[in-house]
Amino acid sequence: MNFVAVSAGEEHSLALRADGSIAGWGSNRYGEATPPSGNDFVAVAAGAYHSLALKADGSIVGWGRNDYGQATPPSGNDFVAISAGYYHSLVLKADGSIVGWGRNRSGQATPPSGNDFVAVSAGGHYSLGLKADGSIIGWGRNDYGQAGPPLGNDFVAISAGLYHSLALKADGTIVGWGRNLYGEVRRSPSGNDFVAVSAGAFHSLALKADGSIAGWGRNDYGQATPPSGNDFVAISAGRYHSLAIKEVGPPPIEAEIKLVPDTLNLQSKGRWLTCYILLPEGYNAAQIEPNSVLLEEEIPADRVVLEGQGAMVKFSRSALQQILGELETPAEVELLVSGELSDGTFFEGTDTIRVIEKRGGKAPK
């Protein structure tokens, strides 16, 4: 789908596609998960029950619950960043100043003056702003200290949750403050290899430089247990759910695959199944990484012999027989062979063989 940004709200989610269009899903009680059409959007922000989107021309669109005017952004086309809170919203202007609107009982929609801000984050009933000198300012409700950021001028990113806040420092470490009912602050992981943070309602997320995700805090719905892997590029924590974008590489090239024998007797005692791989024109078999070649994504190659544009590979016959022994026989089975070239290109191909269970090794006619 080529998503480039995500934002998790109270009970709904938004995602920005590479073509500039928006997808929404989840609770849609106020229309918050039904984004406007168009493909000229560059950023999205999901609040509690309302949503915002920034357009390429610098203007803002809002939709969803609007009883405090939170989904009615100011006019103009000089905006560069957006953030949707519980019932209020914030935007950063090109001149470095902040504009706020929506519910303002605690002053959360009344930002400080100045034109030296580089980021904004709207939380439950409070707000944060990151200044160009690396310091943080908070305003609004502060009963748990959530709007009272630490001193210092070495911060590079901020995230305001419901009652707690996170900040990323220039050295890659994380600082948290505010309510700590579920360990959403004090359980922050140690280390200096983080590149992004996101504060949810009662849980927190952090993206590491290696592309993996750390989660902590309330976890009754698994919201603080991220998937494994190191291919993530963006994160967002909502109330009871989390979102992440995985990096997806180009599709694998199609290789021609020939498996020998083409009829496999499950009773046979042969050592190997032989596979011949022919790469498309323009690709060199000498680039095949021998340790990457797999049969059915789980049986590694016992031997790889490179031959010009192709390769001959030996797979363990007994390992394949163990997998295929669960099939009803006789049967035709399509088998997948995959691997990677030294330049990072993946290849895959399939061939169909017949599987029988017969002593003597001959297939019935």
Task: For 75-124, write each residue's pLDDT tens digit.
Answer: 999 999 999 999 999 999 999 999 999 999 999 999 999 999 999 999 99
Cβ neighbour number for residue 303 with a 10 Å cutoff: 12
24-62 pLDDT tens trace: 999 999 999 999 999 999 999 999 999 999 999 999 999
Residue 186 half-sphere exposure toward CB, CA atoms < 13 A: 5
Show Cβ contacts of residue 42 under 8 Å, excluding neighbours closer than 6 positions.
Answer: 16, 20, 54, 55, 56
pTM above 0.95, yes or no: no
Q: Are residues 242 and 260 in the same domain?
A: no
DSSP designation for 286: G
Q: What local confidence, expressed as pLDDT, does residue 359 receive?
A: 58
Q: What is the DSSP string of 92-105?
A: EETTS-EEEEE--T
The residue assigned the tokens 């959530």 is 146
Instruction: Identify the domain containing residue 281 by its residue range.
Output: 253-356
Residue 362 lies in a domain: no
Q: Are residues 191 and 286 in the same domain?
A: no
How many domains does the chain contain in total? Answer: 2
Q: Are residues 72 and 196 in the same domain?
A: yes
Q: Which domain-ending residue is among 222, 246, 270?
A: 246
Instruction: Please state, in angstroms and rounded to a whole number, the distance separating the CA atoms of residues 151 and 59.
Output: 33
Q: What local confidence, expressed as pLDDT, does residue 75 receive?
A: 97
Instruction: Please state, in angstroms and rounded to a whole number, the distance separating the CA atoms of residues 108 and 113.
Output: 13
Q: Which domain-ending residue is among 203, 230, 246?
A: 246
Instruction: Please state, in angstroms and rounded to a whole number, the distance separating the CA atoms of residues 266 and 319.
Output: 11
Please check whether residue 135 is in contact with residue 152, taking contact to mean a CB–CB distance below 8 angstroms. yes
Q: Which domain-ending residue is among 209, 227, 246?
A: 246
Residue 363 lies in a domain: no
Q: Are residues 265 and 343 in the same domain?
A: yes
What the block records as the tokens of 297 is 């994504």
Q: What local confidence, expressed as pLDDT, does residue 163 receive?
A: 98
Please check whether residue 65 is in contact with residue 56, taking contact to mean a CB–CB distance below 8 angstroms. no
What's phi and psi for 41, nearest 5 deg? -100, 150
CATH value at residue 306: 2.60.40.10
